[in-house]
Amino acid sequence: MKHIYLNLKRFDVPSEYGGVNRLAPTDSWARTIVGGVQKELEKYALQEVEFAVYFPEMHVLQAVSAKDEGSPLKIGCQGVYRADTSVGGNFGAFTTNRPASVMAAAGCETVIIGHCEERNDKAGILAEAGVTDTDAVSRILNQEIKCAIQRGMSVLYCIGEKSEEQGAWQEVLGRQLEIGLDGVDASKVVIAYEPIWSIGPGKTPADKAYITKVARFVKERTSGMDVVYGGGLKQDNAAMLASIEEIDGGLIALTRFQGEIGFYPQEYLDIVRIYLENN
């Protein structure tokens, strides 16, 4: 099966506030995106492809309500809390946090966990507390994954190595897999590989050989779990990624990187088309 994921991060922030949203007002942004892509994605109904979109939390209800009956889109959220509510237990005393229960109740079918930005945030908080255990973040993410799966959601679990970790990439990624997936139903999880060292302006993108060797490593370590490229599926790398047998899809974010940068539905559909036509 192929998987094409879309992580909209905080792409809802209007450009006049320093964001990249020139697409639609905040109160109709999610509806514009869902309405702009779901019909076109129906043409891939005969192919085994999972299409999921990870929205900022405030847009989930709007996105779910915009789905047509039989829509190929899965609506997802950008993380869940490491603890959850339970009948006769915690009723929701999680100020600022989003338990898996409420995201599932809102209509989320899937969640992205462990994105490099989430890992960096958690690592920074732990560092402020004096924690030096490099495995601590993955242990927290493991709790989040379990909460999401318990609520019936599938999980996109992100792993990746930084520049200073490249020399030990097998150890770093191996630990993230071992700890993050400990006690987890692997059938509910897809792995996203993010070469953190290659992401961002001025950095050299990971090439086909590097992505292939890492994807092969992940499949060997996980007994063949699906692996997608989390370093950015774009128009200029879609055909290359589609040619890698060990890669099962990709994670899209921005669709335009020059001029009025941002996310645009038609450009997203172009990326999907290029990837699937070359697969």
- 260 DSSP assignment: S
Active site residue 109: no
Report the alpha-carbon distance of residue 116 to residue 50 in Å, rounded: 22
d(CA 213, CA 195): 12
Q: Looking at 50, 59, 115, 161, which residue is catalytic?
A: 115
| Residue of 118, 144, 161, 194 marked catalytic | 194
Per-residue CA distances from 110 to 79, 128, 188 (Å) = 9, 31, 9
Q: Is 37 helix (H, G, I), strand (E, B) or coil?
A: helix
Q: Decide the pairing of beta strands 73-77 and 49-55.
A: parallel
Whether residue 246 contacts residue 216, with contact meaning beta carbons closer than 8 Å, is answered with yes
In the annotation, is 59 catalytic?
no
Q: How far is it, in rounded angstroms, from Cα 235 to Cα 256?
A: 9
- Report the C-alpha gap between 57 and 247 in whole angstroms: 29
Per-residue exposure over 14-27, b if at least 16 CB sit within 10 Å of its own CB, e if not: eeeeeebbebbeee
Active-site positions read 115, 194
